[in-house]
Amino acid sequence: MIPRAWAGLLRPARPLIAAVVTGTARPLIAAVVTGTAYPPRPRSGVLRFRVPRVLRLLLFRTVDLVVVADLLLAYILFATTMSFFIGVGVISGMREGPEMYLFAAAYSLPVALRDRWPVAAWRVAALSAAFGAGFNLRVLGVSMAERSAGTVLPYVAAEAITYLLCAYSVSVRSSREITIGVWIVSVLGAWIINPNSMFVVVILVTVAVLFGYNVQARRRVTGRLAEEKRRADEQRSARAVLEERARIARELHDVVAHHMSVIAIQAEATPIQAAGDREKLETGLAEIRVLSLTALTEMRQVLGALRGEDGGPGTAPQPGLGRLDDLTGNARAAGLAVRVEVAGSLELPTAIGLSAYRILQESLSNAMRHAPGSSVSIEISRTAAELRLRVANGPGRPALRPVTGGRRPGARPSPGGGQGIIGMRERATLLGGTLDTAPIRDGGFTVTATLPILEEP
């Protein structure tokens, strides 16, 4: 029983005592009984080598160099310990028996198991260290007089190598709590078994544990950095997909807006232009059909790219100024009087050619919507440093303007969503260029774009 006076003095320190007991007991229990190691970490190809084809039927396809080194070291420890046991047996007159193999295996086996089961290997090594070389020699019948540094040192060296390697493996592959428990068990064991060697044991075990914990910390940081890099790569890929989908959405808008404008204008202009002429009517309807099929084809390509079909987003249509004749031909078929002037080569980088094509396409679509039947002038000039586009359209022809009442219907300007100019300006800005729009005094409109030319790598 604790005297009442001592109990009064210890009462304020009870939380501290409880914390110390708990902080010591939990690591000890984890190290000795309940603790388990983390799963083995996959090693890089540097630490693995391929087995020759002849041995693949008997061995694994790849062999870990660390495991091979542990097996070799375990064999060396076993053979060395057995040779000394046999030598001691000759001195003591004892024949070779199963006890020798048992003690030699107890020293060497944990080294072979430490990479796969580090905590279990350390427990076996700790039990071997608890018995010690003195106990083993006594079991083998070696008297105190027959013992010397030459007979004891090999066992002590094998025991130290095995124990330190297992303690290192535990600190690399286990939690901090288990590592602290291993250190406490090592210090207490040295103090109980041989207080004279406690200082040396504490230094060796501390170095092994700290070195292993440092390796674990470095691996943890490396893994965290690799995970952050992986997430950054995933975010970069996701961002690229979103940007590509935004680009495809712009392509879809341009494709639909242009072709639908051409179809709408031509569908209303054809009856006027082909009044009483069946052949012209059939020709106009055939052109509308061709435009409809072309629009559907391009829409399928764009939507397929948006869904990732046929190889992914890269399959979106990539027209360039090489299709300028087709573009102006569609506009002429819709009733626009298009004049084109080109100065310089039209062989352009893909991004420049695509943006230039879409700007011209949207400009012609705007002319069809807001000034049907107008005259359109397209000027394209290319230098080494930039591509300049200018599209100017006049007012729409009165004959094709809307007529109401009992008079003949005419082609009406198709409505626009107001997004075409925004999209054209965005295309130019993304390439580092500019786009300006302005009305003309006579009721027309101009679009001027300047795109810097950067050669593709």
The verdict on 175 and 250 lying in the same domain is no
Tell me the C-alpha distance between 119 and 166, whole Å.
Answer: 8
Tell me the C-alpha distance between 205 and 207, whole Å.
Answer: 5
By three-state DSSP, how is residue 49 classified?
A: strand
Contact between 155 and 136 (Cβ < 8 Å): yes
Tell me the C-alpha distance between 398 and 371, whole Å.
Answer: 10
Q: What does the block give as tokens for 403?
A: 């007529």
The verdict on 412 and 322 lying in the same domain is yes
111 in a domain, yes or no?
A: yes
The verdict on 334 and 425 lying in the same domain is yes
190 in a domain, yes or no?
A: yes
Contact between 248 and 299 (Cβ < 8 Å): no
Q: Phi/psi at 336 (nearest 5 deg)?
A: -80, 145
H helices of 114-148, in order, are: 118-139
Question: Which of 225, 259, 284 is a domain's end point?
Answer: 225
Which of 52, 416, 73 is closest to 260 using CA atoms? Answer: 416
Which of 220, 182, 219 is closest to 204 using CA atoms? Answer: 182
The verdict on 158 and 282 lying in the same domain is no
Alpha carbon dihedral 350, 356, 360, 362, in 10-degree steps, equals: 80
236 in a domain, yes or no?
A: no
The verdict on 259 and 395 lying in the same domain is yes
- Put simply, whether the predicted model's pTM sits higher than 0.75 gets the answer no
Predicted confidence at residue 235, as pLDDT, reads 85
66 in a domain, yes or no?
A: yes
By three-state DSSP, how is residue 430 classified?
A: helix
335 in a domain, yes or no?
A: yes
The verdict on 214 and 137 lying in the same domain is yes
Q: Taking the CB of residue 218, how many other CB atoms lie within 10 A of it? A: 10
CA 390 to chain CA centroid, Å, is: 44
Question: Which of 225, 257, 280 is a domain's end point?
Answer: 225
By three-state DSSP, how is residue 236 classified?
A: helix
The verdict on 382 and 304 lying in the same domain is yes
7 in a domain, yes or no?
A: no
From first to last of its 457 residues, the chain has per-residue pLDDT tens of: 445 555 555 555 555 555 555 556 666 666 666 666 666 655 554 445 555 555 554 444 445 677 778 788 888 888 877 777 676 655 455 556 677 778 778 778 888 888 788 888 888 888 877 776 555 555 555 544 455 555 566 667 777 888 888 888 888 888 888 888 888 888 888 788 777 777 888 889 889 989 988 888 888 888 889 888 888 888 887 777 677 667 666 666 666 667 777 777 777 777 777 777 778 777 878 877 777 777 777 666 666 656 655 444 444 456 788 889 988 988 888 888 999 999 988 888 877 888 899 899 989 988 888 888 889 999 999 998 899 999 999 887 654 544 443 333 444 444 444 457 887 888 888 788 999 999 988 888 999 999 998 654 4
Q: Taking the CB of residue 154, how many other CB atoms lie within 10 A of it? A: 20
By three-state DSSP, how is residue 280 classified?
A: helix
The verdict on 281 and 197 lying in the same domain is no
DSSP per residue, 177-198: HHHHHHHHHHHHHHHHH-GGGH
Contact between 450 and 434 (Cβ < 8 Å): yes
Question: Which of 225, 252, 282 is a domain's end point?
Answer: 225
201 in a domain, yes or no?
A: yes
The verdict on 302 and 352 lying in the same domain is yes
Which of 402, 441, 177, 378 is closest to 269 using CA atoms? Answer: 402
Q: Which domain holds residue 260?
A: 244-452
The verdict on 189 and 315 lying in the same domain is no
Model confidence pLDDT, tens digit, residues 53-112: 555 544 444 456 777 787 888 888 888 777 776 766 554 555 566 777 787 787 788 888
Q: Which residue has the tokens 């030598």?
A: 87
Q: What does the block give as tokens for 360?
A: 């011209």
What letter would DSSP give residue 38?
P
CA 308 to chain CA centroid, Å, is: 20
What letter would DSSP give residue 77?
H
CATH of the domain at 268: 3.30.565.10
The verdict on 296 and 411 lying in the same domain is yes
Q: Which residue has the tokens 């639908």?
A: 260
Q: What does the block give as tokens for 398?
A: 């009165």
The verdict on 207 and 278 lying in the same domain is no
Q: What does the block give as tokens for 13?
A: 């320190």
Tally of structural domains, the chain? 2
12 in a domain, yes or no?
A: no
Predicted confidence at residue 82, as pLDDT, reads 77
Tell me the C-alpha distance between 30 and 341, whole Å.
Answer: 85
Residues 6+ apart with CB under 8 A from 422: none
Q: Which residue has the tokens 């700790």?
A: 126
Tell me the C-alpha distance between 220 and 213, whole Å.
Answer: 10
